Amino acid sequence: QKEVEQNSGPLSVPEGAIASLNCTYSDRGSQSFFWYRQYSGKSPELIMSIYSNGDKEDGRFTAQLNKASQYVSLLIRDSQPSDSATYLCAVEAGGTSYGKLTFGQGTILTVHP
Amino acid sequence: DTGVSQDPRHKITKRGQNVTFRCDPISEHNRLYWYRQTLGQGPEFLTYFQNEAQLEKSRLLSDRFSAERPKGSFSTLEIQRTEQGDSAMYLCARSGGLNEQFFGPGTRLTVL
């Protein structure tokens, strides 16, 4: 069983729509959760961090966390073609592996005009 | 700019050769991490340093891999006797506030 699992893609949405990306994790000790965006051939770029249950909004991005369900999501409102990328969910390991991130396999998002 | 540079950006080598990658955070950050990413997968943790101390190593880091961070500033990752399975993007990340990690541009290794 994968430690961090993301919804299978690719995900295709029209410009202006809401894109919804989902992630589940297995480590109940995890306290820090991150979303990275990765363009083809580039390194991952941190776009959202979330640490407590609920929603966190930053511009067009909203991260949602539910620790009881071990679930974290990212909503992208008013999607733009420039949002087309691979989105990676990352979970910080709890306990003695403090600082280590475990990544999901990524979800490819395509926003078409 | 994430404040992390990596060198080289691309490396092509023949199987059996040794390679060394360098990571330079723009200033001395407490923690520095190495990850490896293969095509279609998320990055996988290799190792991390707190200052000059290497505190954790992944099982992925075989005996052919070694990492150092002398003086707690830049870090090097060396792969000895490279194999085709070592072909990947090698990513270095620095720590930020609230356990965030910021990646450098990566070094893409191709082993022929």
Contacts of B106 in chain A (CB under 8 A): 42-43
CB contact under 8 A, A100 and B95: no
A10 band by pLDDT with thresholds 50, 70 and 90: very high
Phi/psi-derived region of residue A69, left when phi > 0, alpha when psi is between -120 and 50, beta in every other case? alpha
Contacts of B95 in chain A (CB under 8 A): 99
Residue B67 has pLDDT above 60, yes or no: yes
Contacts of A32 in chain B (CB under 8 A): 98-99
Residue B60: the pLDDT is: 81
Residue B88: the pLDDT is: 97
Mean pLDDT, chain B, rounded, equals 93
Q: Locate the chain B residue with the closest alpha carbon to A97.
A: B56
Residue B73: the pLDDT is: 87
Of B54, B81, B52, the C-alpha closest to B65 is B81
* Coil, helix or strand at residue A82: helix
What distances in angstroms separate CA A101 from CA A6, A53, A80, one per listed residue? 15, 19, 28
User: In 10 A of CB B35, how many CB atoms?
Assistant: 27
Residue A1: the pLDDT is: 54
Q: What is the dihedral of CA B27, A39, B7, A48, to 10 degrees?
A: 20
End-to-end Cα separation, chain B, in angstroms: 32
Any CB–CB contact under 8 A between A8 and chain B? no
Any CB–CB contact under 8 A between A101 and chain B? yes
Residue A33 has pLDDT above 90, yes or no: yes
pLDDT, average across residues A41-67: 97
Question: Measured between alpha carbons, how far is A67 from A31 in angstroms, rounded to an integer?
Answer: 9
Gap from A34 CA to chain B (nearest CA, Å): 8
